[in-house]
Amino acid sequence: MKVIIEVIALFLGFAGWILIFISLHDQYWKESTTEGSVITTSTIYENLWMSCASDSTGIYNCRDFPSLFALPGYIQASRALMIAAIVFGTFGLVATLAGMQCSKVGGENYILKGRIAAIGGVFFLLQGMSTMIAISWYAANITQQFFDQLYPGTKYEIGEGLYIGWSAATLSICGGSCLLCACKIVTPSEKIPYPYQQPSRGHVPPTVVTSQSAPSNYGRNAYV
């Protein structure tokens, strides 16, 4: 049962790691809304790296953000958190593969392998939390600008890239939690070591005394 939980946790963490890459490459983190807009023939959509515009004929044009320091603070923080999530996920995958009971890495020291697997679960949790904070922070700014009646700029709606990011964060957190729970499960087949107790000096084992004091039914001549 413990091995099955570790495999499921590894699959969830790896799936979340892949979805983070997909979310980062998705261009639709936010999309301009047609609510209250007079111009409906063009659409503007952005992500953490670029801004794109398309018209009704299907022609689109994208441009990268020219300056990092000119970007709003939440975009810079979201970039850092998403990159950190990828790094955490990489360490989590390596630690989980090394700490699983079905792997040959680390030999048969299951206590050490369990601790390494627990570290992998912590990395998966950090991956999910970093992604969740970045995606939720970005979505909160979109929502705030959308319902602000005094906001003069273009209003946006939540794009598909954010939903992919939320899915990645959920899978990563579930994978890390399952891995930490699997490390606490003790199976009956595990060998529990007991410390060796050296007998005190002058103590004679009972078997020796019994063998010496046991009466013999044979005479001494029977041994010749």
Residues contacting 89, CB < 8 A, separation 6+: 13, 16, 17, 20, 123, 124, 127, 172
Domain that holds residue 98: 2-223
CB 99 within 8 A of CB 115: yes
Q: What CATH number has the domain bearing residue 195?
A: 1.20.140.150
Q: What is the CA radius of gyration of the chain?
A: 32
Across the range 100-125, mean pLDDT stands at: 81
Neighbours of 48 (CB within 10 A): 19
CA–CA gap between residue 149 and residue 16 (Å, rounded):
37
Q: Which of 85, 91, 88, 92 minimizes the C-alpha distance to 21?
A: 85
How many H helices and E strands in the chain? 5, 5
Contact of 63 with 51, CB cutoff 8 Å: yes
Span 195-205, average pLDDT: 53
Instruction: Tell me the torsion sign for CA atoms 4, 9, 119, 98.
Output: positive
For residues 55-63, give the mean pLDDT. Answer: 79
pLDDT digits (tens, 9 = 90+) for 12-50: 999 999 999 999 998 899 988 766 555 556 788 888 999
Q: How confident is the model at residue 201 (pLDDT cuts 50, 70, 90)?
A: low
pLDDT at 56 over 60: yes
Pick 13 or 60 by higher pLDDT.
13
Q: What pLDDT sits at residue 15?
A: 95
* Distance in Å from the first CA to the final CA of the chain: 63
Number of domains in the chain: 1
- Cα 75–chain centre separation: 23
Select from 166, 160, 164 the least CA-distant residue to 137: 166
- Does the model's pTM come out above 0.85? no
Give the burial string for 164-203 (b: 16+ CB within 10 Å, else e): bbbbbbbbbbbbbbbbbebbeeeeeeeeeeeeeeeeeeee
- Confidence band for 89, pLDDT divided at 50, 70 and 90: very high
